[in-house]
A and B are shown apart, each in its own frame.
Chain A
Amino acid sequence: MALSFELRRRGALAVCFALVAATLSAAAPQARAATPSPIKIGAVLSYSGLSAPLGQPQVNALKLAEKDINAHGGVDGHPVQFDIVDDGAKADVAAQLAQQQLGSGAVAVMCGTRTDTSIAVSRVTGAANALQFYMTPTAGVWQTRGGVAKTVFQATPRDALEAQALLNFAKGRLHAKSIAILHDQNLYGTGGATVATEEAKPMGITIVANESYPGDATDFTPQIVKIRDAKPDAVILWGATQTPALAVRAARTLGLKVPILGSSGVLSPAIIKVAGDAATDVYAASNIGFGDATAQQKALAEQYEAAYHQPLVGFAAQAWDAAHLIVDALRDTHGKADGLALAAALEHGKPIAGVQGTFRFSPTDHNGLNMADVHIATARGNAWVAP
């Protein structure tokens, strides 16, 4: 028995050696042949689980961005390679994956699709002095209580800009004087509700109700009844994926007929599919234009539709911009992986034209966009269109 165990152990060791040797011999000629070596960038996205409708377009766009970047010379002639992994919409998984990617030579990390995954990873990138770009509107990931997170940047209009645009639209176009807020209980939703409350005050808009729901809610009766009783002129709905669609349906079913203005997370094809004919008088903030799309947005839309046979969505534009912004910084530092050096290049560099707008980063602004970069769309027929 002892002998057979020893033999097996030796056998296992031999197999290990053989594998290592095989890997080395296979890798060596490749490394020699493929000069210059690729620059690896980690991408931890949520393309399964609840956030799949957001993460999947980001993966699509990232693959297009990789081709585009490498067609334009990569970084100093080195091809760029995005290592895309799925965190399943789980913050702890995202942090582990980011740690692994940085450990295996990634020079920067794109993460993530969700606010909670982005925050979890920001602790990893902060500790490792690595550049991170994330793609949710929550500014709180870089605008922390302890000041600006030095190496964390945001590649989509921040929530305060969305709130300003929605409130402006509510006041100017819909003549609303009072607003009720209905939001997801997660970090994204509560952050948005807080920002909207702050932005409403100087605009002279009163918040008459503030209700929340858990991300997997299916019934909204208590919240809608309370909002209906508060008699607001409009409702701001801050949430993402399908759940807001059920909220819209519940509102219309329970006789809450006022306009509903959603955050950009509400803007997905899913809401029209789920809410159906209830999606009337529903608006949403968007990082890409509907009817007022910029030339860059039209160009990306064309490319995206040709590759994937589906219309461009805002989530894809976020990933496209994040990828190009990281590469822009890497070109400035000639591929140096130092997070602080990359951050400095972004903060003091020239304005960078992206698909969503022109990014003007500074040491106090790691978002760099402004309210003009937020568009408003409305659900009509079976699509999102210009209001």
Chain B
Amino acid sequence: MGIPSDSLMDSRPAAIGGLIDRPKLPLPGNSPFFLVHYVDVGGSWEVVEEGMDAPTFVPVLQPFPIRPGAAGVRTVSADEPRSRMYARPLAKLQEQGAVVLPLDFHVDGAHLPAGVAAGPYLRETDAQGGAFYHTAWDTPRKAIRGNAATVDCDRASYNRWRAALVTSGIIPEPRQAVLDDVRARAMRRLDNVRSATDIPTDMREANTATARTRLDAVKAAKLPQVNPTPSAPKTAKKVTA
């Protein structure tokens, strides 16, 4: 026997979102942004170790905010496509040879922190000053001290994703001079801390050790490899009685 049609009820989860106060982060609102890699400029590559098997050069990705009135972004009329807001600065960046990752650039789950869904690299969180935009690797949180907020970054997965951008050919490998510049700066840093003879010996030694470790990592760093050659299987050592 069928159920009378006037008894059918459309039951669904209550829309309680508007009834529950969720604490908002004490952060100023910010603007959405796309990620940009400036090609062959100082500081456009860095050496990372977290999440990598060995020290690796990865490209620096810099947020370029989409905010009318800043850095060439303009206000558009109501019927203009929103993309026109940033069409001119985008064109200028591309003229300069920068690599711009589009807003709909898809990041697969394997390159994201555990529990973060695959999707675009740009995410947003409610903050007291409006929407707070951040990357998919960032977790904004209230600072333990003070009245501000901060962002925790899952550097391991972020580093692996940046390396993958190189191996997939999206970001070109840098000129050797850019990598040499990173090494030269690490060396200069070591020289600076080593020559600070006025500070207590134990402190200078500690500073020097840190700078030397950093320099060693920078010297050993390689560019991301597409398919690193698997190490040759170790030959079993014959044991003779």
A and B: interacting chains:
no
List the interface of chain A (C-beta within 8 A of B): none
